[in-house]
Amino acid sequence: MSPRGTEHPPKCPCCGSPQTELKHRLRAFDVHRCAKCTLLFRHPLPEPESLEEMYEDARYHEGRYFQNSAKAYDLDAPEIRIYSAALAELRRLAPAGRLLDVGCGRGVFLDLARSAGFETSGIELSKRHVDWARSQFELDVVAGEFLDSEHTPASFEIVTMWDFLEHVIDPIAVLNRARELLAPQGLLLVFTIDANSLFNHIADLLASASGGRIARPLELLYDVHHNHYFTRRSLEQLLDNQGFAVAHWASHRAYLGRWLNEPASPALFLGGVVIDRIADVVGLPYRHTAICRRT
Ligand SMILES: [Zn+2]
């Protein structure tokens, strides 16, 4: 028996296809790829009970990712500009209404959404984040698991998920729950990274050309907090299957300074900045925002 229990190829957790293959054997877990929808996914998945502990870990909270979240946050930071552009698009598609941010973190997006005129609520697993969102921004945020939340069906015009869907155990259940909470014709925003980015292609190439010796870029890309690594194709197919029609699509650079929490050499960092620029030109971006309408 394989030490990681992968003696039977797992079915794709998003499209159900049995046509999957082991793609990467990383230090902490294996990554499989679906030949049909092109999703990459961790297998086996972590225990749901372990997630809460993972998201209360001090190292997770002290990372660069959450640094620009004090009350006077920098409006020119790349992630804030992405939030602002998405809010302008949401206002165009749904000029007002109730907005729920799922996995709202420290509440910066909700603070911006409230300023843009939306009636905001949030839900977040990490109690430390919830405390921050309440004390810094006085936001209406509850702590807990989205699938068990007490929100009323059809009570939101907009549901947003920033850097959330790749973290969950069951993306289909999460999208079904979002659909249930949305009013007819409501909007869902999903922001996630793309496992078909130029970064992934280069990390793959480095690992395979070196016989596995240069695995560091690959290990960085397959974040231990993520369970599903969407490609644009697999995300579009999943959204379509769960009853969402894409109304707006935007792609974005990686902006390495934000997510590179692990120590990395200056050469790796500089190389990353160059790849980030080239990815624009060759059309293999690092991440996407999809805004969809509930059909
Ligand atoms: Zn699939």
pLDDT single digits (tens) 26-51: 998 999 999 999 999 999 888 877 77
17 C-alpha vs ligand 1 centroid, how far in Å? 5
More confident of the two residues 213 and 1: 213
14 C-alpha vs ligand 1 centroid, how far in Å? 5
Inter-residue contact 184 to 294 (CB < 8 Å): yes
What are phi and psi for residue 270, nearest 5 degrees? -65, -45
Residues 6 or more apart whose Cβ sits within 8 Å of residue 208: none
13 C-alpha vs ligand 1 centroid, how far in Å? 7
Q: Report strand pairing: 156-162 vs 141-143.
A: unpaired
> Residue 213 is encoded by which pair of tokens?
């010796």
**Rounded distance, CA 88 to CA 91, Å?**
5
CA distance from start to end of the chain: 45
pLDDT single digits (tens) 49-101: 777 777 777 666 666 666 778 888 888 888 999 999 999 999 999 988 999 99
232 C-alpha vs ligand 1 centroid, how far in Å? 12
132 CB neighbour count, 10 Å cutoff: 22
137 C-alpha vs ligand 1 centroid, how far in Å? 40
30 C-alpha vs ligand 1 centroid, how far in Å? 16
pLDDT single digits (tens) 148-192: 999 999 999 999 999 999 999 999 999 999 999 999 999 999 999
What are phi and psi for residue 245, nearest 5 degrees? -105, 125
35 C-alpha vs ligand 1 centroid, how far in Å? 7
Query: Could you tell me what percentage of the chain is helix, strand and coil, using 3-state DSSP and rounding each to the nearest 5?
Result: 40, 25, 40
Nearest to 69 by CA among 83, 56, 55, 52: 83
**Rounded distance, CA 186 to CA 19, Å?**
34
Cα 177 from chain centroid?
17
82 C-alpha vs ligand 1 centroid, how far in Å? 28
| Positive or negative torsion for Cα 176, 182, 184, 188 | negative
Superfamily of domain 51-192+242-294: Vaccinia Virus protein VP39 (3.40.50.150)
